[in-house]
Amino acid sequence: MKSKMRYLILGIVILSFASIIYGFNIKSEDEIRGNKFIGAGTVGLFLVAMPLFLIKESRGKKMKDYMLNQENIKKMQENEARNKRKP
C-alpha cells in the first residue's frame, strides 16, 4: 500500500509541474487558458499532493512527541547539556 501511495503522490506532483510549465508556455498565445493550467497545477501541488504526502508520512507517529510542552523542553535542555559536556 505504501508504494502505491508513493507513486500516486509522485504522479500528481509530476502532472502538476507539467501543467504549470505548459501553462507558462502557452500563456503568450492564450493568457486565460495558460492561467488556468498554472492554477490547476498549483492546486494539484498544494491542495492534493501535499496533504496526501503529510498524511502518508505522519501515519503512526505520536503528535505528543512533536509538541512543545514542559516535558519536551526539559528533554531538549538535558540533551543540550550533554552535548556541551562531550568535547
What is d(CA 6, CA 51) in angstroms, rounded to the nearest whole number? 13
What's the whole-model pTM score? 0.71
Residues 6+ apart with CB under 8 A from 13: 44, 45, 49
In order, the DSSP letters of 5-73 are HHHHHHHHHHHHHHHHHHHHHHTTT-HHHHHHHHHHHHHIIIIIIHHHHHHHHHTT--GGGGS--HHHH
Tens of pLDDT, residues 30-65: 999 999 999 999 999 999 999 999 999 888 888 877
Note the pLDDT of residue 35. 97
Confidence of residue 1 (pLDDT cuts 50, 70, 90): low
pLDDT at 86 over 80: no
Q: How confident is the model at residue 2 (pLDDT cuts 50, 70, 90)?
A: low
Please check the confidence at residue 66 and state whether its pLDDT lies above 70: yes
